[in-house]
Structure 1
Amino acid sequence: MAFADNLQQLPSIAHIAELQLLDAQGQLAATIPNVPGKAGSVTLYNALYAKHGSINVAAAEEGLELFAEHTADAKVHPGSHPNIDRLLQVIASGQGYAVAVISKSDAPAA
């Protein structure tokens, strides 16, 4: 199935401002804002977090399947899809991320 089709099967992220990925020491490693161009990644990472409890190796493997056609492109063009590159790194290193979901009501005003 294509990435766009996979997204249709995942829960809404309308309430999410951003996802924060925390490393093993609890330090902020990455932020994925819920903005155009990143909303698909937020949707996918949020669903993986809900199912797996973190972005671990199993979540990363599932994520690569859900990113579908973008996964193959990311492997050919490293750096062009940082949220897929991150999943590949989780699999390669075995080091995952805890996730903090920042809801729109909790986000600081711009």
Structure 2
Amino acid sequence: MGLKLSATSILGSIVCLFALATEFAYALPPAEDTPEEILRTEIITEARSPVDGKSLTPAQYAELQAQLEAGPPIDPKLSPQVRRTITLLRLRQFIRTFFPFLLR
């Protein structure tokens, strides 16, 4: 019981392998593309303001970050009814984490 291979089947196999090999080459990045490993080690010296998107120097960016972190505490003025509703919704959410079948 021997395996018979014809020249056509061998040639067809070679053509298929060649076609598959060229498909893999398309997935490679272009040669002029900078590798990600090099990009990760670069030090970023320009920054954008998170407030308005303007370009900042590193010193200005650090100063702005410090100002934003040390800014006044945000205490929204809400009516007592809205505060109570928010508190009840948070309580309901907390209860549903332990008893999901309740409060449907």
Normalised by the shorter chain, which TM-score bucket?
under 0.3
Greater radius of gyration (CA):
2
Larger RCO, structures 1/2 (Cα 8 Å, 6+ apart): 1
Select the structure that is richer in strand: 1
Select the structure that is richer in helix: 2
TM-score of the superposition, structure 2-length normalised?
0.19
